[in-house]
Each structure stands twice: as C-alpha cells, then as structure tokens.
C-alpha cells in the first residue's frame, strides 16, 4: 500500500503528512523539555543558594558554536536538494553528522571531568537537574545523528527514485535537528551563565 501525501500536500491541512507529523511530535517535545525547565525554575527559586561558575563556559560556548553551525549545514543540505545538487547535499549532511560527533565528544569531556571529580547527579540538586536536562538533550542529539547518518548513507538512495519525497524527508529531519539546536540555545545560558 502506498503512503499518501508524502509529496503532494493534503487538501485539508495544506501540508505533506510527515511535516504535520513532525510538528506534532515537536509540540510534545516542547512539553517534555518545558516540564524539566519548570522543574529547574522551581528548584532554583526554592534553593537557599545556587552554585555558579562550576561548569566549563568556554567548552559549552564551543559546543554552542558547533550546534549553530550544524543547523546551517542541515538547512543547506535541504537547500542543496531543492537546488538539485546531490553532491553538495552529501557534503552538508555529512558535516551536520560530524558536528553532532564533535558536540558529543565535548560533552563527554565535560561529563568525564565531573565524574572524575566525584560530581555525580546524586551529589546536589544542581548536578541532578544539570545531568538530567543535558543528558536528555544529548540523547536527542544521538537520535538526530542516527537519522542524519541514515540519510547520508543508504537512505539517500531514494534521491534517484523519488527526489521530491527525499527532499521532504530531509526537511522533516532538519526540523527535528533545529529543534535540538533550539533547546541547547536555552540550556546554555540557563546552566552555564546564570
């Protein structure tokens, strides 16, 4: 059975199905991270004092730059397909994947430093919410990398048979990846700078 509305928009929504699907998923993700941000605020305003300057700001700044860069490479991957340039698409989606790897390596260094210093989630309320939120975000990065890796590799075969459908798939994967970037844009000041 053929999946309907993968290329042409549905007459009632004006969207191809996957796009509406990803936005509904992202809406649920807003609620997931929203609940954790609320938890953070309540913990912080309820605490007699809150640690400041315990995290590595330069490393996190580099990670912010890496994720923002990955967002433009992701949108350029999609734009390359719109412009029918498959070679450039491959380069940009590969760079997006690479940026994900760099982000996780840097985060791994940070986590490693905390753990070796005995700073575990059980050590304090601050570390508990820090590990929970950045860990959940890291899992989202891994999820995005699996999808992007697939579309860089065997998943890209669809370009030869159904180019428009493949372009839509990359747009949807991009929407998810930009959301992951967007969450980090808030996590960075909340944990590292305030």
Contacts of 148 (CB under 8 A, 6+ apart): 74, 93, 96, 97, 100, 173, 177
Q: Does 193 bind other proteins (CB under 8 A)?
A: yes
**What is the widest separation between alpha-carbon atoms in the chain?**
61
136 makes contact with other proteins (CB under 8 A): no
Q: Show the binding pattern over residues 7-36: x = contacts other proteins (CB under 8 A), - = does not.
A: ------xxx---xx--xx--x--xx--xx-
| Cα gap 64→85, rounded to integer Å | 28
**Residues in 86-125 that interact with other proteins by CB under 8 A:** none
Site track 141-160 with other proteins (rule: CB under 8 A), x = hit: --------------------
**Four-residue CA torsion sign, 83, 85, 91, 94:** positive
- In the complex with other proteins, which residue's Cβ is closer, 139 or 193? 193
- What is the smallest separation between the CB atom of 120 and other proteins, expressed in angstroms? 26
Q: Which helix (H) or strand (E) holds 182?
A: helix 163-187
Tell me the closest approach of the beta carbon of residue 1 to other proteins, in angstroms. 24
User: How many residues in the shown chain lie near other proteins by CB under 8 A?
Assistant: 51
Distance CA 136, CA 65 (A): 20
The two three-digit tokens of residue 67, written as one number? 């994720």
Q: Which long-range contacts (CB under 8 A, 24 or more apart) does 37-40 make?
A: 37/133, 37/186, 37/190, 39/129, 40/129, 40/133, 40/190
Minimum CB distance to other proteins, residue 185 (Å): 5
Binding mask 32-71 for other proteins (x = CB under 8 A): --xx-xx--xx--xx----------x---x--xx--xx-x
189 near other proteins, judged by CB under 8 A: yes
Using alpha carbons, select from 168, 167, 176 the residue that is nearest to residue 145: 176
Q: By CB under 8 A, name the binding residues for other proteins.
A: 13-15, 19-20, 23-24, 27, 30-31, 34-35, 37-38, 41-42, 45-46, 57, 61, 64-65, 68-69, 71-72, 74-76, 79, 81-84, 163-164, 167, 171, 174-175, 178-179, 181-182, 185-186, 188-190, 193-194
């Amino acid at each position: 059975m053929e999946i309907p509305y993968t290329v042409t928009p549905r007459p009632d929504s004006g969207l191809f199905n996957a796009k509406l699907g990803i936005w509904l998923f992202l809406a649920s993700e807003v609620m997931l991270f929203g609940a954790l941000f609320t938890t953070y605020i309540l913990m912080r305003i309820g605490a007699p004092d809150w640690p400041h300057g315990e995290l590595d700001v330069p490393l996190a700044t580099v990670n912010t730059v890496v994720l923002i860069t990955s967002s433009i490479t992701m949108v350029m991957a999609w734009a390359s397909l719109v412009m029918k340039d498959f070679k450039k698409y491959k380069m940009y989606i590969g760079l997006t994947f690479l940026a994900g790897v760099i982000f996780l390596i840097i985060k791994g260094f940070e986590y490693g430093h905390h753990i070796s210093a005995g700073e575990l989630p059980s050590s304090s309320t601050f570390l508990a919410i820090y590990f929970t939120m950045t860990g959940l975000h890291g899992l989202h990065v891994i999820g995005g990398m699996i999808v992007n890796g697939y579309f860089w590799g065997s998943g890209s075969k669809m370009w030869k048979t159904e180019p428009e459908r493949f372009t839509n798939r990359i747009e949807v994967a991009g929407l998810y990846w930009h959301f992951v970037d967007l969450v980090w844009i808030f996590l960075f000041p909340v944990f590292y700078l305030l």
